[in-house]
Homo-oligomer: A and B are copies of this chain.
């Protein structure tokens, strides 16, 4: 969070991180009444920007917000920050709030949205995660159900996930797998979850209550593989018996999971299919 590696676009005005402050009457602060996206640039190119901006609008519309900023405006702000800071590899968080107003749940109390884009340099993640895999837990905290607060809305309401992350930290785990109210696997705290069993690669369907991940969608559409990729309900007992397991996220890409609770997955090392999928993902994302 220093001046040198971070820059903010606040309603299209470039601002140093220490000066980037929002009114306490902003509904994003009061109620989490905001939506957001995270993407990165690799070799100075924004990864799947169209998909992220489409999803930002989709999240907004799901809470009855029509973005007051065009995709082109947002894209330009990202490129502006990218060009000023100049790092090859950068993290971008785009936050769109319903704006400021008198305090009350009624969304019409605010009329002018706030757009905040945080850009900062992003180091490579520890190679250990990818070479050795990570250990995770299954959280007791369930994921919010679709009929209450749909996990497919990427909003400012992330305390549910923070609670699962607190459980993970207590048990020295990298992250937590969250279950839905039917007892099936939903997603990680900020990622989608996958398993491989008998050369079938699977991930829970949207109806399990999860964010429709962009990396997830790319993998579901991989072609000419020597394994099947499908969506299916996954019980905890199934993933514990998987040959391989992994997380996917836009920032961390594909992270192999080698232990869940106290159960070693496969041979306790990142799986071959997991590695193959990661390589293939990199190729479509930025190794062009």
Contacts and interface: CB of A to CB of B under 8 A. Distances in A.
Contacts of A140: 147
A33 B163 CA distance: 10
A161 B144 CA distance: 13
Given A24-B118, A103-B118, A31 B147 contact: no
Interface in A89-115: 93, 95, 102-103, 105-108
Helix, strand, loop or mixed for chain A's interface?
mixed
Counting from the closest, the 8 A-B pairs by CB-CB distance are: A32-B32, A21-B21, A31-B158, A105-B165, A157-B157, A157-B159, A149-B160, A142-B148
Interface string A50-76: 000000000000011000000000000
A155 B106 CA distance: 17
Interface in A20-44: 20-26, 28-33
Interface residues of A, number: 55
A225 interface: no
Contact of A160 (B1, B20, B24, B148): B148
Given A20-B23, A144-B149, A148-B142, A33 B63 contact: no
A8 interface: yes
Contacts of A141: 147-148
B63 A32 contact: no
B105 A158 contact: yes
Given A31-B32, A103-B118, A105-B189, 19 more contacts: A20-B23, A21-B24, A22-B22, A30-B95, A31-B157, A31-B159, A31-B162, A33-B159, A33-B162, A105-B162, A106-B169, A141-B148, A142-B145, A148-B148, A148-B160, A148-B181, A149-B160, A153-B159, A157-B157
A205 interface: no
Contact of A33 (B93, B105, B143, B158): B158
Interface string A152-194: 0101111111110110010000000000010000000110000
Contact of A1 (B18, B102, B190): B102
A54 to B, nearest CB: 21
Interface string A128-156: 00000000000011111101110001011
B25 A1 contact: yes
